[in-house]
Structure 1
Amino acid sequence: MAHAAHGSEHGHDPQAGTVPADAGHQQHPLKVYFVIWGLLFVLSIFSYMVDYAGLEGFLRWFLILAFMVAKAGLIMAIFMHMAWERLALNFAILLPPLAILVFVAIMVAESDYTAGARGTFFSQGR
Structure 2
Amino acid sequence: MTETTVHTHAAPAAKVEGHAQTHQQHPIGLYLVVWLLLFVLSTFSYLVDYVGLQGYLRWSLILIFMVLKAGLIVAIFMHMAWERLALIYAILLPPLLVLVFVALMVSESHYVLFTRLTFFGAAP
Task: Indicate the SS of the match to 1:99.
Answer: helix
| Paired position in structure 2 for 1:84 | 82
TM-score of the two chains, using structure 1 as the length reference:
0.80
User: What whole-Å deviation, never above 9, does each CA across 1:53-108 have from its counterpart, x for those lacking one?
Assistant: 00000000000000000000000110010111111111111100000000000000
User: What whole-Å deviation, never above 9, does each CA across 1:30-70 have from its counterpart, x for those lacking one?
Assistant: 11000000000000000000000000000000000000000
| Paired position in structure 2 for 1:71 | 69
Q: CA deviation at 1:19?
A: 2.6
In structure 1, runs of 5+ residues without a counterpart are 1-17
Residue 26 (structure 1) aligned to one of 20, 24, 27: 24
TM-score of the two chains, using structure 2 as the length reference:
0.81
Matches within 5 A, 1:1-126: 19-21=12-14, 22-23=21-22, 25-123=23-121
Computed over aligned residues only, the root mean square deviation of the Cα atoms, in angstroms, reads 1.9
Give the share of equivalent positions with the same residue, in percent: 67
User: What whole-Å deviation, never above 9, does each CA across 1:2-45 have from its counterpart, x for those lacking one?
Assistant: xxxxxxxxxxxxxxxx832335x321111100000000000000
In structure 2, runs of 5+ residues without a counterpart are 1-10, 15-20
Rg (Cα) greater in structure: 1
